[in-house]
Amino acid sequence: MHIIVIGAGLLGVSTAYFLKRNGAEVTVLESDDAPAMGASYGNGGYGQASVADPWNAPGINKVFLAAWMNSLSGRAEQSAFVARTRALPGLMPWGIKFLRHAKADIYLKHTIENSQLARYTRDVLEEIDDAEQFSYAKSDVGGLIIFRDDQSLAGYVELSKKVCANDMPYEVLDTDALVKKEPSLAGIRDVLVGAVHFPDDPAGNSRVFCEQLAEAATSRGATFKYGVAVSSIECRQSGVSIKTRGGEIRGDAVVVAAGTGSRQLVRPLGIRLPIAPAKGYSISVPMNDWRERPRHVIADMGVHAGVNPMGDILRVAGTAEFAGMRPGISKERIDYLVQLTAQIFPEFAMTINRDEIDPWAGFRPLSADGLPMLGSTNVDNVYLNTGHGGLGWSQAAGSGKAVADHIFGKSGAYDISEFSAGRFN
């Protein structure tokens, strides 16, 4: 069985790897010149296995209104969330669905479903690590969600109780306990009220992992073709035909794992995917001689930023910009991330050499209901692995294995029925 995978980001490479382990002939098509060059390149690297909450939480309508006002007021480049006026008409159909799902009961249900897939992913990562012995700055000390106001902390603790139940351990820390566990935060202890620690949440460098997994898939016989842009997918009685600038590639089935590009690829087939591109930024900063380096990956809910120590590099990620597929890296956005770093690690931020910063910007494929789209479609031999939004790293390995097992109809495979794109019909 020859299966074509479109996309060599985390989702596509994970799918290809497990398709090979299931015995398929696999060809991966990627428009960039290497794997993990899109949203998989510079994300925060935090695997949210405990509480993998979607973005459309109750009250998100106020956040979107504020994001639009930030754009109108000229504060866009210095704000965590931005919605550009020119992008709003194209976002309307998706946005209506997104806001419809921003209800407390739906939000909780989808957080639980996302978290279960993320926990499965954590287990699959361990399986891959045992088999391949990768090295990608993996952390095993867990994640810290830190807060600057009591109300936000209390709300998150309540959510953690419901989502984690008896499946995942967590610990609520006051300020003293937090600084004792993570001394690098001592410089801002006066503005912190506490944290939730998830000891079993993984972290690591997603780009390096993706590159190594692509090598492992290649060694198992998968073919990766880079610099190949797919123009269309045609379904035939005997399988699928993938049209590229270099010609036609035929296979028995195709898995579309092209991130935000998935929507356009499957639309001519009658498959409608409510996905919006949420542009995110990150900076990777050498920690050099910093003695009091952080040990944990940290999500600061007060400034809407995450930091992740990956070897000698500190990854700082944050911001969400709804501006269509506007390419490029804004210098003002990078300056803003340096400012966020200063709000978390003020002393370290003073030592940052701007010339050593590795900036990144990419488009996260955000589905309208906050759940990914996995598995079969209403078109024979066309499968999906996309729409993960900010949870791509948290769910990639598990999604790849689940989709591969689904294609082969393996008994005992992870149930992905709740993630079918048919739920939007």
Write out pLDDT tens, residues 74-121: 776 667 777 788 877 888 899 999 999 999 999 999 999 999 999 999
Mean pLDDT of residues grouped by 10 in the chain (425 residues)? 98 98 98 95 95 93 81 70 80 91 96 98 97 94 98 97 94 98 98 98 97 98 98 92 94 97 97 94 95 96 95 93 85 92 96 95 95 97 97 98 97 94 91
Which H helix or E strand runs over 277?
strand 275-286
Instruction: Judge whether 13 and 400 are in contact, CB under 8 Å.
Output: yes
- What pLDDT is attached to residue 76? 63
User: Which tokens sit at 202?
Assistant: 């993984």
- Hey, is 146 helix, strand or coil? strand
Residue pLDDT, tens place only, 310-325: 999 999 998 888 888 8
Kindly compute the dihedral angle of the four CA atoms of residues 82, 85, 91, 96, in this order, to the nearest 10 degrees. 80
Pair 280, 30: CB distance under 8 Å: no
Q: What is the per-residue pLDDT for 343? A: 97
Note the pLDDT of residue 67.
Answer: 77
pLDDT of residue 82: 79
Domains of the chain, each with CATH number or no CATH: 2-61+100-424 (3.50.50.60)
Residue-level pLDDT at 89: 83
Cα 107 → chain centroid:
18
Is residue 18 a contact partner of residue 404, using CB atoms and an 8 Å limit? yes
pTM for the complete prediction? Answer: 0.95
pLDDT tens-digit readout, 208-256 = 999 999 999 999 999 999 999 999 999 988 899 999 998 999 999 999 9
Signed CA dihedral, 119, 125, 131, 137: sign only: negative
CA distance 167 to 394: 17
Which of 177, 185, 160, 415 lies closest to 300, judged by CA? 185
In three-state secondary structure terms, 240 is: strand
Q: How far apart are CA 109 and CA 101, in angstroms?
A: 11
β-pairing, 382-386 vs 373-376, is antiparallel
Q: How confident is the model at residue 397, as a pLDDT?
A: 98
Whether the CB-CB separation of 36 and 62 falls below 8 Å is answered with: no
